[in-house]
């Protein structure tokens, strides 16, 4: 493609994106297609000859778009958000155009130094301790895996890096997390070689947060059995209900037993940019590592996961590899982020974070996030006032867990599960909103999470009216 054609289609695509942003509410939030429906419309083999951009774009609109779930729709209330914003999209254009491989300082000094600066901005914005150093990873899953591998190496004086699990020690390394932790912890435990048998799922209380006394009991029991407690993964904002594990008592336990503390605040961490929400991170100074995703709730398009650690040496000693072809003259004077994570190749993710923080300003980000939290509280109040519904978990931040359960009716748990699942499916099939479900202590709960960039009170109110209308028909 020559630059003349590129310019023509570049303008056309920007126009299309701006129209998409303006008219996104005309699309169904959840893709209304059956499995295989998209693939059936695509040729089985790639084209031998060049195709016109006109035809490619036309197929994008005709085939691909109907198969998209519109995460940027303001009535997207499912899972956790993966929100974005215009400045983030613009920065991604530039990142794609620069096409830089930001693995070491020399391969793009600005990428490394901008990453250092924006991560330090973020650290300050969240009120994380001054000594924490930041690096951008692709996802929270990768960040947690990094933490687990670092914990493993610190606990064994880098013996596993050197000898692997093949040789020697019969002492088992144990990882602890709550029964409500995200599945990425179990995945990380498996990949890092701990083995699922060595993951302890600590019970939670009525608020679905880890019970610190149960954690200490488990650590003591493992020590008694000759095992080596290695890492605790605490969650600030669990996926099912945004429960907040109490970091201070958990941190004190980790400190006493010299166990690595990793904090997974994948979505909820963003709330800490509000002074009134900083309490969710009380005790974070005990953490050895901490992750939150600007790609969830900070208007920065996927992927962008902010990983902070107390001792970057633990990270670089674990991941450092220095083949001759990557050595540079400035290695001693700069950060080479390739040693701060798993992949060698790194995208220039700091650029979009820089665009977003500058374009919104701290106040703009705070206003949006505060607005989402207020809307969640209002939605909670509507649920509480209607005797046909009940709240299923404390509303700590921007997620409301609830279900249809009329107080005057006696339903079995199975009946409630079916009714609520049907209610959710009907709403999602309508294309007008999208919510998801979870199980809390074995009971099905519907989840409505408010975090899409352009969600307003009107969207939440409409969701509530649709829910009520569906309930009226039951």
156 binds ligand PLP (CB under 6 A): no
In angstroms, give the least distance from the CB of 269 to ligand PLP: 9
270 binds ligand PLP (CB under 6 A): no
In angstroms, give the least distance from the CB of 288 to ligand PLP: 17
Rounded (10°) angle between helices 413-429 and 457-472: 130
| Nearest CB to ligand PLP, comparing residues 222 and 303 | 303
Cβ contacts of 214 within 8 Å, gap of 6 or more: 202, 203
In the list 29, 140, 424, 460, the residue contacting ligand PLP (rule: CB under 6 A) is: 140
- Phi-psi label, residue 258: left if phi above 0, alpha if psi -120 to 50, beta otherwise: left
In angstroms, give the least distance from the CB of 129 to ligand PLP: 21
In angstroms, give the least distance from the CB of 82 to ligand PLP: 8
How many residues line the site for ligand PLP (CB under 6 A)?
A: 14
239 binds ligand PLP (CB under 6 A): yes
Phi then psi dihedrals of residue 70, to 5 deg:
-90, 90
- Work out whether the CA dihedral 249, 255, 257, 258 comes out positive or negative: positive
In angstroms, give the least distance from the CB of 185 to ligand PLP: 8
In the list 88, 184, 204, 438, the residue contacting ligand PLP (rule: CB under 6 A) is: 184
| Nearest CB to ligand PLP, comparing residues 184 and 300 | 184
288 binds ligand PLP (CB under 6 A): no
In the list 27, 71, 76, 80, the residue contacting ligand PLP (rule: CB under 6 A) is: 80
In angstroms, give the least distance from the CB of 305 to ligand PLP: 5
293 binds ligand PLP (CB under 6 A): yes
Strand duo 443-449 + 399-404: pairing? antiparallel
From edge to edge, which strands make up the β-sheet containing 199-202?
133-137, 305-309, 289-292, 260-264, 228-235, 173-178, 199-202
210 binds ligand PLP (CB under 6 A): no
307 binds ligand PLP (CB under 6 A): no
In the list 75, 108, 133, 141, the residue contacting ligand PLP (rule: CB under 6 A) is: 141
Closest CA to 466 of 427, 422, 419: 427
| Contact of 208 with 243, CB cutoff 8 Å | yes
Q: How far apart are CA 260 and CA 323, in angstroms?
A: 30
Q: Exposed, middle or buried by CB within 10 Å (0-12, 13-18, 19+), for 185?
A: buried
In angstroms, give the least distance from the CB of 266 to ligand PLP: 3
432 binds ligand PLP (CB under 6 A): no
From edge to edge, which strands make up the β-sheet containing 389-391?
389-391, 399-404, 443-449, 436-440
Q: Tell me the window of 198-206, 232-240, 271-279, 420-428 that interacts with ligand PLP (CB under 6 A).
A: 232-240
Cβ contacts of 280 within 8 Å, gap of 6 or more: 236, 237, 244, 265, 268, 271, 272, 396, 397
DSSP 8-state assignment for residue 326? G
| Nearest CB to ligand PLP, comparing residues 182 and 200 | 182
Cβ contacts of 246 within 8 Å, gap of 6 or more: 209, 210, 212, 282, 283
Buried residues in 85-122 as b, exposed as e (16+ CB within 10 A)? bebbbbbbeebeeeeeebbbbebbeebbebbbebbbbb
The SS3 of residue 379 is helix
Q: Tell me the window of 52-60, 134-142, 372-380, 405-413 that interacts with ligand PLP (CB under 6 A).
A: 134-142
235 binds ligand PLP (CB under 6 A): yes
| Contact of 82 with 300, CB cutoff 8 Å | no
139 binds ligand PLP (CB under 6 A): yes
266 binds ligand PLP (CB under 6 A): yes
Q: Tell me the window of 153-161, 222-230, 259-267, 402-410 that interacts with ligand PLP (CB under 6 A).
A: 259-267
In angstroms, give the least distance from the CB of 450 to ligand PLP: 15
Closest CA to 234 of 185, 187, 188: 185
- From residue 355 to residue 374, the character string flagging contacts with ligand PLP as x (rule: CB under 6 A) and all else as - is --------------------
- Residues near ligand PLP (CB under 6 A) are 80, 139-141, 182, 184, 235, 238-239, 264, 266-267, 293, 305
């Amino acid at each position: 493609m020559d630059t003349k054609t590129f310019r023509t289609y570049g303008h056309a695509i920007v126009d299309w994106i701006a129209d998409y942003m303006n008219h996104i509410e005309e699309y169904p939030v959840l893709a209304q297609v059956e499995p295989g429906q998209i693939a059936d419309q695509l040729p089985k083999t790639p084209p031998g000859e060049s195709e016109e951009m006109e035809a490619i774009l036309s197929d994008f609109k005709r085939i691909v778009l109907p198969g998209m779930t519109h995460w940027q729709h303001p009535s997207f209330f499912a899972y956790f958000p993966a929100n974005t914003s215009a400045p983030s999209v613009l920065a991604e254009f530039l990142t794609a155009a620069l096409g830089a491989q930001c693995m070491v300082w020399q391969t793009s000094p600005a990428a490394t130094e901008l990453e250092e600066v924006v991560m330090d901005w973020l650290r300050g914005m969240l009120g994380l301790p001054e000594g924490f150093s930041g690096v951008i990873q692709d996802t929270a899953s990768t960040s947690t895996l990094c933490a687990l591998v670092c914990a493993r190496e610190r606990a064994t004086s880098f013996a596993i890096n050197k000898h692997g699990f093949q040789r020697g020690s019969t002492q088992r390394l144990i990882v602890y997390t709550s029964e409500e932790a995200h599945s990425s912890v179990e995945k990380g435990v498996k990949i890092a070689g701990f083995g699922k048998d060595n993951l302890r799922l600590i019970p939670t209380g009525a608020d679905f947060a880890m019970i610190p006394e149960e954690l200490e009991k488990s650590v003591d029991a493992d020590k008694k059995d000759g095992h080596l407690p290695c890492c605790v993964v605490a969650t600030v904002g669990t996926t099912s209900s945004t429960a907040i594990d109490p970091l201070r008592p958990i941190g004190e336990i980790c400190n006493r037993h010299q166990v690595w503390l990793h904090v997974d605040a994948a979505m909820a961490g963003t709330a800490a940019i509000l002074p009134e929400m900083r309490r969710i991170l009380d005790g974070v100074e005990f953490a050895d590592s901490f992750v939150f995703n600007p790609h969830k709730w900070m208007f920065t398009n996927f992927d962008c996961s902010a990983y902070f650690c107390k001792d970057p040496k633990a990270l670089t000693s674990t991941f450092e590899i220095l083949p001759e072809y990557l050595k540079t003259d400035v290695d001693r004077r700069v950060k080479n982020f390739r040693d701060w994570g798993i992949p060698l190749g790194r995208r220039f993710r700091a650029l979009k974070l820089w665009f977003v923080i500058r374009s919104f300003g701290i106040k703009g980000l705070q206003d949006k996030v505060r607005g989402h939290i207020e809307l969640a509280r209002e939605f909670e109040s509507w649920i509480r006032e209607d005797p046909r519904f009940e709240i299923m978990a404390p509303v700590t931040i921007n997620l409301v867990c609830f279900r249809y359960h009329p107080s005057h009716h006696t339903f079995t748990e199975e009946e409630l599960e079916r009714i609520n699942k049907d209610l959710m499916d009907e709403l999602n099939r309508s294309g007008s909103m999208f919510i998801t479900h979870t199980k809390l202590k074995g009971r099905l709960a519907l989840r409505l999470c408010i975090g899409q960039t352009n969600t307003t009170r009107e969207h939440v109110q409409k969701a509530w009216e649709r829910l009520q209308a569906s309930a009226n028909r039951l």
